[in-house]
Amino acid sequence: MSESILFDLTGNVATLTFNRPDKLNSFNVAMHQRMSALLDELEKPDSSARVLVITGSGRAFCAGQDLSDRHVSANAEAPDLGESLEQWYNPMIARLKALPLPVVCAVNGVAAGAGANIALACDLVMAARSASFVQAFCRLGLVPDSGGTWHLPRAVGTPRAMGLAMLGDKISAEQAASWGMIWQVVNDDALSESVRTLAEHLARQPTSGLAKIKHAIYASANHTLEEQMALECSLQREAGKSSDYREGVAAFMEKRSPNFSGK
């Protein structure tokens, strides 16, 4: 059997590819276990990865939860969906947000339910023009999860977030970009190359500094201005002691391209 998530490490770019195309890359327990193990590897101090790309195989990015993995019948006790969130989805989203390297999402097709919210948890989202996003939870009597109710209002504002969550309408990649949900839309046949170019660019940058940028921007949602400026001061103090800062200054003074190490 093929792996439910494929892993590739080329240079300093790690790529995770959701690989259940016949199920629109929807998550089951085995897929969650595989995702958790791969994040374990990426979190190791000796990992050579400096950028993570997440994408899907086939015609979907991810359709969220595999409902056949949690069948509900009239004669059976309903599954505890909150337990699944606590065990699998919530830790995955938290780990992606905290991962000390840029996480790029390449949305190659439909991103629905938790699949849409996994994409929104990534740092930079690039989507194929034919891709789409849908918060399908309301059609099942459920609530957007996997961080959806946190990310959506911050990305598109409360009125649009409420409409997306309560109506469950599918929106195009172009509309998602125009609303500020994602970074960029490219033609379908250019997605792979565009994402690779972006990831390779990021991998050459001072990724330790990029991790601090990520930390600061995500922390700002819960900080006052004074608290955020104090965090900036702390992170800047750390960044100023880094090898990459010294290399950046040296390259600027010597009028050459920098050779960052990510440290």
pLDDT digits (tens, 9 = 90+) for 126-163: 999 999 999 999 999 999 999 999 999 999 999 999 99
Rounded percentage of the chain residues whose pLDDT exceeds 70: 96
Residues 101 and 225 in one domain: no
Q: Which residue has the tokens 């330790």?
A: 208
Of 75-84, 128-137, 238-247, the range with the lowest mean pLDDT is 75-84
Q: What angle, rounded to 10 degrees, do the helices at 225-239 and 207-219 form?
A: 170
Q: How many CB atoms lie within 10 A of CB 221?
A: 9
Residues 177 and 242 in one domain: no
Q: How many CB atoms lie within 10 A of CB 52?
A: 24
Residues 146 and 219 in one domain: no
The domain in which residue 153 lies consists of: 5-203
Residues 23 and 128 in one domain: yes
Q: One-letter amino acid identity for 43?
A: E
Say whether pLDDT at 65 is over 60: yes
Q: What CA–CA distance (Å, rounded) separates 26 from 38? A: 17
**Sheet containing 184-186: order of strands:** 5-10, 13-18, 51-56, 103-107, 124-128, 184-186
Residues 246 and 133 in one domain: no
Average pLDDT of the segment spanning 221-225: 94
Quick check: 68 and 42 in contact, CB under 8 A? no
Residues 30 and 160 in one domain: yes
Q: Identify the pLDDT of residue 74.
A: 45
Domains contained in the chain, number? 2
Condensed to tens digits (0 to 9), the pLDDT of residues 10-58 reads 999 999 999 999 999 999 999 999 999 999 999 999 999 999 999 999 9
Cα of 59 vs its chain's centroid, Å: 19
196 found inside a domain: yes
260 found inside a domain: no
The pair of structure tokens assigned to 54 is 């997440």
SS3 state of residue 191: helix
pTM confidence score? 0.93
Residues 117 and 177 in one domain: yes
Residues 231 and 112 in one domain: no
Residues 12 and 104 in one domain: yes
Say whether pLDDT at 252 is over 90: yes
Residues 222 and 127 in one domain: no
Residues 111 and 17 in one domain: yes
Q: What CA–CA distance (Å, rounded) separates 20 from 3? A: 9
Say whether pLDDT at 72 is over 50: no
CATH for 242: 1.10.12
261 found inside a domain: no
